[in-house]
Amino acid sequence: MQNYTKYTFNSTNEILVARLFDLGFDSFQELENSSEGYIRDDMITVELNASVNEIAKEYDAEYVVEKLENKNWNEIWEANFEPVTVGKFCAVRADFHEANGSVANDIIINPKMAFGTGHHETTYMMIDTMSDLDFEGKSVFDFGCGTAVLAILAKRLGSARTLAIDIERESASNSAENAAVNNVGGIDIRQAVIQDLEPDKFNIVLANINRKVLLNTADMIASHQNKGDILLVSGVMHQDEQIVETRFNETGYKRHSIKSRGDWLCIRYSRH
């Protein structure tokens, strides 16, 4: 059982997070206005804390440190995790749940840690909207893939070239494991940011990430799509609808449809 310490930064800067990962942080949970980084206690040294201070100052970020109670995080996650079932289309479950034979796509997802398992509302809406799309032979980009559940589903639905990236090293590793346990091959899984990508085009982009990342990368997302291509975004709250809508209109997208679940939105755009 590993003991962890949480560092909470008042920033969601992707480059800051990437540099902290290089120091040995295991996982990050990105919130609306902050980022929570988790690191094993045995990784914490005077030198590491000095490096954290330097990086935080460089990006004008402040942070607080909290030693976490000694817990078995995997057991806690298992005790609280419930499968996500989207009609007869798809179920997302862990390997300790029984298979769901009543859905067309039964997907196993086993996150390694309790941190950053995501919002069920956004995952549900992304999957629900994917049920309306034709993935057969399409190129797909899962931006901020997390566990790669969306990329795995896209492959199940017949996608051709499929790229899944996440800034977190742990997420990229876990995504590869989840693809393997579902016997899904052909997904290019990388620890990367969108700025790292080659100038490729994708018929469908799936972006279940937060508002700030969407706003900051809208131009880059658009550069990876042609006229008529499809973009699905979630991780957007009701109060952020207009600012997100304006930003993507500016970059050449037109809204096709919108769904709502709880406090969250999922918006389908087309490139024009």
Say which CATH number the domain at 264 has.
3.40.50.150
**Do 128 and 61 belong to one domain?**
no
**Do 129 and 203 belong to one domain?**
yes
Where is pLDDT greater, at 44 or 24? 44
Crossing angle between the packed helical segments 14-23 and 46-58, to the nearest 10 degrees: 170
Taking 80 as the threshold, does the pLDDT of residue 70 lie above it? Answer: no
Per-residue confidence at 27, pLDDT binned at 50, 70, 90? confident
Per-residue confidence at 4, pLDDT binned at 50, 70, 90? confident
| 20 assigned to some structural domain | yes
pLDDT tens per residue, range 128-172: 999 999 999 999 999 999 889 999 999 999 999 999 999 888 789
Distances (CA, A) of 50 to 30, 56, 65: 23, 10, 13
Where is pLDDT greater, at 11 or 21? 11
Q: How many domains does the chain have?
A: 2
- pTM of this prediction? 0.76
Range of the domain at 265: 118-271
Q: Say if CB 35 and CB 9 are below 8 A apart.
A: yes
**Do 62 and 125 belong to one domain?**
no
| 266 assigned to some structural domain | yes
**Do 24 and 138 belong to one domain?**
no
Say which CATH number the domain at 12 has.
3.30.70.260
Between strands 63-67 and 4-9, the pairing is: antiparallel
| 155 assigned to some structural domain | yes
Q: How far apart are CA 98 and CA 160, in angstroms?
A: 29
| 54 assigned to some structural domain | yes
Per-residue confidence at 73, pLDDT binned at 50, 70, 90? low
Query: Computed from CA positions of residues 17, 56, 23, 29, in that sequence, does the dihedral angle turn out positive or negative?
Result: negative
Determine the 3-state secondary structure of 204 from DSSP: strand
Q: What are phi and psi of 111, to 5 degrees?
A: -60, 145
Taking 90 as the threshold, does the pLDDT of residue 211 lie above it? Answer: no
> What number of other Cβ atoms are within 10 A of residue 250's Cβ?
11
**Do 141 and 257 belong to one domain?**
yes
**Do 136 and 226 belong to one domain?**
yes
Q: What is the mean pLDDT of residues 64-73?
A: 79
| 241 assigned to some structural domain | yes
Assign 3-class secondary structure to 89-125.
CEEEECCCCCCCCCCCEEEECCCCCCCCCCCHHHHHH
Overall size of the chain counted in residues: 272
| 154 assigned to some structural domain | yes
Long-range contacts of 258-263, Cβ-Cβ distance < 8 Å, separation of 24 or more: 259/125, 259/128, 259/129, 260/125, 261/121, 261/122, 261/124, 261/125, 262/121, 263/121, 263/237, 263/238
**Do 130 and 220 belong to one domain?**
yes
